[in-house]
């Protein structure tokens, strides 16, 4: 069987751990989503800003370009492409440059005419070759081919990185064929200026072509493209999608893209997750540590609380366990010193109950003693009234008959016998007094029945003064006289033998009378009283008194043989200690 503590503790601990676990889970999920959202939000914000800026700038550029395109177109229309001369071209250039200057764009315009060559504002033909070399890096970035914008990159042989040089647009002739490309040169600085408010060290802008290939990425220091960072994107990347990728050197990156429908550009922002992840793991560690500390305190608290609750009960149970099962030896109260009102109430009630039990036991004891006393007093053999009357009647008869000598002698014996009622308070008398009593009794009986009874006594000197309950032998002698010698006229002998065996005193009364049958013995022992013998209760009374005083080991045995005699054995078990105990009880 388990104790209350053993029963409670695992359940409470389990419950607490469950709560802690759930708390840990919820916190983790919360922190994760918070961090994710946080990162995502930063990302989207940045992209939105870029997008807005971009649109603004690009629209301006686009508008200018459209105007420019119209003028060039009209110009071409007016003059066949073959007649296009340098003077006219210079005019266009001037016009264009003025437009861009107004826009604040530090730029150059090149016009590349098919089969004619490039006409630049400074007339530097050397650049044409350079441009021709870079033409394969010009990508379609928006719209149909007829209205395409081009981005032009130079690919210097001394650098692996391309540099964005210019935007461009195809010029068509009358037949709708591509007549050439108008290129507006721009510089890295221009682009940077446009984005410098948005970009920071952690942001990188990728510029992708229509098919999703990264053609450039930006960082505050460098705009160009690097294939080293290039992740593979699926086509038609949706706006604001985020991807976590790992670079070649295993740095975790978060890539978010934004597709601008206006200009067809897709911007990709790259975020280095290393630092963010550091924050993230630090936060997780803090959360776990917090939860662990909490759980530690919780478990401690559980122990303390359960201890506090169960200790009172445990102490209570130990107190109860310590109580003597034999409540008769007095009951020690349980000390009431517990911390809880409830336990105290139980203990107080328990104490009251104990006290009550003790009281009841005392009452029972007292009652029992009273009852025993009463029973004892009752059983204390008295001189039976009819014996007195019979004796007195006999005396009267003797006197009437003139046998005064006999009457006087009988009166002496009677007088001796009458001492018995006078010493009611004296329960124990020496054996010899008891025997004297028997002698007086027998003398009276001799007169009454006109017979001679012989009394033999065998008793060691030391037993003479042993104390026995008074009137314990007389009923036995009476039984012998009535049952043994009713019809026996002479040679009636009663022998009283007393001896000590171990702790017990034996007194054996033998007669040589008629004896009793087994049935008669049983009747005598059962105390069955009938008109035949008013001494019927005598032996039963003796037996009861013996057992009352000397306990279960006390005996009254009757052995009898018809026509031979009867032997009654009284066993006073442990007679010495019994006597002293009884003396104490009386005082």
Partner 1 sequence: MKILIVDDEVPIRKYITQMIQDCGEEYEVIGSVGSAKKAMEVMKHQVPDLVFADITMPKITGLELLEQIKKEYPEVSVFMLTCHNDFEFEELRLNSRLTIIF
Residues contributing to the site for partner 1 (CB under 8 A): 386, 389-390, 393-394, 396-398, 400-401, 403, 406, 447-450, 482-483, 486-487, 531-534
Shortest distance, position 527 Cβ to partner 1, whole Å: 14
> Do residues 506 and 569 touch, judged by C-beta distance below 8 A?
yes
Shortest distance, position 534 Cβ to partner 1, whole Å: 6
Shortest distance, position 526 Cβ to partner 1, whole Å: 17
Shortest distance, position 489 Cβ to partner 1, whole Å: 9
Query: Which residue number, 216 or 541, has a Cβ lying nearer to partner 1?
Result: 541
Query: Which residue number, 349 or 528, has a Cβ lying nearer to partner 1?
Result: 528
Query: Which residue number, 282 or 396, has a Cβ lying nearer to partner 1?
Result: 396
> Do residues 162 and 155 touch, judged by C-beta distance below 8 A?
yes
Query: Which residue number, 169 or 440, has a Cβ lying nearer to partner 1?
Result: 440
Nearest to 252 by CA among 272, 231, 233: 272
Shortest distance, position 398 Cβ to partner 1, whole Å: 5
Shortest distance, position 551 Cβ to partner 1, whole Å: 32
- Please give the structure tokens belonging to residue 231: 């992740």
Shortest distance, position 531 Cβ to partner 1, whole Å: 5
Measured distance CA(393)–CA(383) in Å, rounded? 15
Query: Which residue number, 88 or 390, has a Cβ lying nearer to partner 1?
Result: 390
Query: Which residue number, 440 or 448, has a Cβ lying nearer to partner 1?
Result: 448
Measured distance CA(380)–CA(65) in Å, rounded? 147
Q: Which residues of 219-238 are buried (b: 16+ CB within 10 A; e: fewer)?
A: beeebbbbeebbeebeeebe
Query: Which residue number, 312 or 394, has a Cβ lying nearer to partner 1?
Result: 394
Shortest distance, position 360 Cβ to partner 1, whole Å: 38
3-state SS track over 331-392: CCCCCCCCCCHHHHHHHHHHHHHHHHHHHHHHHHHHHHHHHHHHHHHHHCCCCCHHHHHHHH
Beta strand 163-172 with 204-208 is: unpaired
Shortest distance, position 325 Cβ to partner 1, whole Å: 47
Nearest to 546 by CA among 382, 426, 379: 379
Calculate helix-pair angle for 341-379, 536-550, nearest 10 degrees: 140
Residue 398 parent element (H or E)? helix 385-401
Query: Which residues are CB-contacts of 452 (< 8 A; sequence separation ≥ 6)?
Result: 446, 490, 492
Query: Which residues are CB-contacts of 27 (< 8 A; sequence separation ≥ 6)?
Result: 287, 291
Query: Which residue number, 186 or 394, has a Cβ lying nearer to partner 1?
Result: 394
Phi, psi of 156 (to 5 degrees): -70, 145
Query: Which residue number, 449 or 506, has a Cβ lying nearer to partner 1?
Result: 449
């Amino acid at each position: 069987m388990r104790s209350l503590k053993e029963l409670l503790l695992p359940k409470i601990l389990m419950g607490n751990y469950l709560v802690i676990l759930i708390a840990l889970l919820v916190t983790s999920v919360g922190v994760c989503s918070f961090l994710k959202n946080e990162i995502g939000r930063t990302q989207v914000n940045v992209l939105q800003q870029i997008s807005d800026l971009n649109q603004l700038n690009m629209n301006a550029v686009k508008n200018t370009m459209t105007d420019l395109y119209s003028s060039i177109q009209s110009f071409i229309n007016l003059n066949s492409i073959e007649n296009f001369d340098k003077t006219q071209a210079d005019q266009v250039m001037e016009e264009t440059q003025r437009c861009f200057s107004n826009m604040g764009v530090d730029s150059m315009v090149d016009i590349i005419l098919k089969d004619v060559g490039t006409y630049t504002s400074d007339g530097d033909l050397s650049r044409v070759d350079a441009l021709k070399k870079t033409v394969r890096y010009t990508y379609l970035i928006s719209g149909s081919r007829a209205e395409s914008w081009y981005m032009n990159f130079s690919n210097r042989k001394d650098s692996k990185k391309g540099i964005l040089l210019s935007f461009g647009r195809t010029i068509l002739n009358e037949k709708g064929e591509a007549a050439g490309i108008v290129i507006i040169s721009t510089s890295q600085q221009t682009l940077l200026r446009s984005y410098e408010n948005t970009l920071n060290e952690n942001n990188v802008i990728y510029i992708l072509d229509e098919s999703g290939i990264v053609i450039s990425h930006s960082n505050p220091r460098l705009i160009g493209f690097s294939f080293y960072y290039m992740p593979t994107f699926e086509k038609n990347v949706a706006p604001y999608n985020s991807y976590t990728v790992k670079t070649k050197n295993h740095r975790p990156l978060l890539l978010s893209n934004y597709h601008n429908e206006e200009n067809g550009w897709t911007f990709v922002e790259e975020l280095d997750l290393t630092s963010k992840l550091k924050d993230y793991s630090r936060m997780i560690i803090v959360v776990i540590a917090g939860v662990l500390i909490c759980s530690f305190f919780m478990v401690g608290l559980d122990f303390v609380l359960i201890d506090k609750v169960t200790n009172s009960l445990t102490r209570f149970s130990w107190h109860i366990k310590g109580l003597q099962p034999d409540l008769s030896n007095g009951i020690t109260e349980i000390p009431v010193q517990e911390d809880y009102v409830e336990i105290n109430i139980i203990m107080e009630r328990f104490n009251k109950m104990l006290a009550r039990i003790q009281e009841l036991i005392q009452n029972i004891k007292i009652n029992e003693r009273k009852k025993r006393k009463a029973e004892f007093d009752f059983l204390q053999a008295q001189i039976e009234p009819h014996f007195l009357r019979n004796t007195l009647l006999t005396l009267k008869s003797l006197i009437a008959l003139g046998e005064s000598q006999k009457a006087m002698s009988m009166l002496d014996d009677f007088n001796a016998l009458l001492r018995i009622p006078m010493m009611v308070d004296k329960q124990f008398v020496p054996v010899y007094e008891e025997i004297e009593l028997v002698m007086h009794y027998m003398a009276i009986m001799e007169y009454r029945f006109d017979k001679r009874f012989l009394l033999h006594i065998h008793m060691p000197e030391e037993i003479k003064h042993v104390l026995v309950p008074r009137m314990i032998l007389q009923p036995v002698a009476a039984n012998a006289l009535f049952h043994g010698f009713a019809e026996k006229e002479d040679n009636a002998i009663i022998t009283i033998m007393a001896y000590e065996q171990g702790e017990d005193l034996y007194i054996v009364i033998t007669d040589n009378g008629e004896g009793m049958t087994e049935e008669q013995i049983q009747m005598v022992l059962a105390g069955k009283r009938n008109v035949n013998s008013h001494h019927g209760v005598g032996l039963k009374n003796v037996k009861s008194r013996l057992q009352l005083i000397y306990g279960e080991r006390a005996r009254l045995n009757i052995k009898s043989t018809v026509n031979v005699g009867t032997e009654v054995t009284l066993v006073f078990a442990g007679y010495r200690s019994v006597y002293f105990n009884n003396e104490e009880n009386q005082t």
